[in-house]
A and B are shown apart, each in its own frame.
Chain A
């Protein structure tokens, strides 16, 4: 039930865009995105509850495609502060847990 994240790592220059994908083999109830800075705990970014829903947080937005059982995180005009590892957490109906992907390490360079 662990979702698959891609890519595993990406390096961007400031101002460039990136997309991180999170795919599930099982029907999703909700998707949760987190960012973890080096040496710190993961911080919640946003939740997507419905198929086709899109949400935004500063210049970071996400979509949830219920049919494809996947979510994508969009980082536009990246800033140095976006560097970190991004995790998706997936929830399934009836489960008490989130299942976390293996993470995508994003590095933004000047």
Chain B
């Protein structure tokens, strides 16, 4: 079945540590890829997106993600996290080949940064 997979649902790390969240998808063809973030008590916000060009995309707040087509992956990274990065992170995929306009989401990564 077509899906979006995020591993390590709960991540706990200290400030200044590096963060990498994995995202794999099973859709073929052209895809648009997104990472959304949900800070405690807030609504989902777009962190970054990829749909063409440079596979390394930069987002807000120092986040970046790399699209590796051969691995069907779009991992999110931040070299040095801050306490304010505590949030839930969702990877999402829009599979254009299948002609639909919906985003399929992964189950999310709950990230807790300890001061």
Question: A and B: partners?
Answer: no
Tell me the B residues contacting A by CB distance below 8 Å: none
| A interface list, Cβ under 8 A from B | none
